[in-house]
Amino acid sequence: MSVLLTGARVVSIPMRVRFRGILHREALLIPGPAGWGEFSPFPEYGDAEAAPWLAAALEAAGEGYPKPVRTSVPVNGTVPAVAVDRVEGVLARFGAVGAVKVKVAERGQSVAEDLARVAEVRRLLPNAGIRVDANGGWDVPTAVAALGALAEAGLEYAEQPVPDIAGLREVRQELARRDIPVLIAADESVRKETDPLRVAREDAADLIVVKVAPLGGVRRALEIVAAAGLPAVVSSALDTSVGIRAGVALAASLPELPYACGLGTLSLMAGDVAEEPLLPDGGALAVRNVAVSGELLECYAAAPERRQWWLDRLERVYGQLMRGDRTA
């Protein structure tokens, strides 16, 4: 544990736009023999929920990643819950992409605002795949009505329209009954469940969204995808290039990759820790290692009190992880 505390670096990187209510993204980075690992569970997460994130960071730093089966992975752009007049500027930062994820169901916003945002993406990118992400923000009737309207834009899928597995199943069944052609993707119902395979067993989703850190590492995520037997979309958790590298490793190791991955979120941040940030080129991310810059670690170093907060958290969560008390 002392080695982790000594080598750990804590950064705070400003966001270009508010995302999940966040204006600065904090992360603790851990060096190891295989490279760097990122430990960045959101501040509101308890220690048990944060434990898999530390397992993933330790895997990256200590073991590295499985051998890839592809040299690059396609990625989507991401449009936060911004006003319509900001959509074009957000998309411009992603360059050429074949798919876009649009945030919907933001607290304090209406379905009409969601429809307008999606319509603007469709106007700007008439041939792109569009998927929406509600982060569980709707109830079942609202989700069915909203997705019925949003289907006019031609959605690839809707990610976590309602918060729980029973609700996902109900939304999926009702969309089918009404002949609304929108697939349902489970995100929180995979990464926040003590049993990440329950959503597949209960026939509550058409595909799953997998993130390396909440599932405990690349190897654990590969096991979950294989056991679920559903198509998978690899996504990030608003990571630095270190965390994005783990997502790329997962996407590059999956036998099949039918959808563009949500791994282009570094474009939403106004800085990074890598000399060459892991940014998309031509709608794809290369499978490559990341060189962390000491100068950038200093540039984005968190304030002393925040650094101590993260070190205290690291020590607690490490103890939790060693006791085997984690959520995934």
Burial class of 324 by CB neighbour count within 10 A (0 to 12, 13 to 18, 19+): exposed
- The pLDDT, as a whole number, for residue 21 is 79
Place of tokens 């997998």: 210
Residue 199, pLDDT score: 97
* CA nearest neighbour of 77 among 63, 92, 61, 62: 92
pLDDT for 17: 82
Domains of the chain listed by start with CATH number: 2-64+294-322 (3.30.390.10), 72-286 (3.20.20.120)
159 is in an annotated binding site: yes
pLDDT at 193: 85
pLDDT at residue 327, as a whole number: 52
CA distance 320 to 203: 32
Give the residue ranges of DSSP H helices in the chain.
2-7, 47-62, 84-92, 111-124, 140-150, 165-177, 188-191, 198-201, 212-215, 218-228, 241-253, 294-299, 304-322
Question: Which pLDDT belongs to residue 328?
Answer: 47
In this structure, the strands spanning 9-19 and 129-133 are unpaired
Residues in the chain: 328
- Dihedral sign for Cα 93, 99, 105, 109, please: positive
In contact, 246 and 60? CB cutoff 8 Å: yes
Strand order, beta sheet including 99-103: 77-79, 99-103, 129-133, 155-159, 183-186, 207-210, 232-234
Active site residues: 103, 211
Q: What is the pLDDT of residue 326?
A: 55
Q: Does 139 appear as a known binding residue?
A: no
* Tokens matching residue 241: 């290039």
- The tens-digit pLDDT sequence of the chain (328 residues) is 666 778 999 999 999 988 777 899 999 999 999 999 999 999 999 999 999 999 999 999 999 999 999 999 999 999 999 999 999 999 998 888 999 999 999 999 999 999 999 999 999 999 999 999 999 999 999 999 999 999 999 999 999 999 999 999 999 999 999 999 999 999 999 988 889 999 999 999 999 999 999 999 999 999 999 999 999 999 998 999 999 999 999 999 999 999 999 999 998 899 999 999 999 998 999 999 999 999 999 999 999 999 999 999 999 999 999 887 655 4
Exposed/middle/buried for 108, CB within 10 Å: 0-12, 13-18, 19+? exposed
Q: Is 187 annotated as a binding residue?
A: yes
Residues 254 and 265 sit within 8 Å (Cβ to Cβ)? no
Contact yes or no for 195/180 (Cβ under 8 A): no
pTM: 0.93
Residues contacting 187, CB < 8 A, separation 6+: 133, 135, 159, 160, 208, 209, 211, 235
Rounded distance, CA 70 to CA 247, Å? 13
Distance between CA atoms of residues 297 and 184, nearest Å: 39
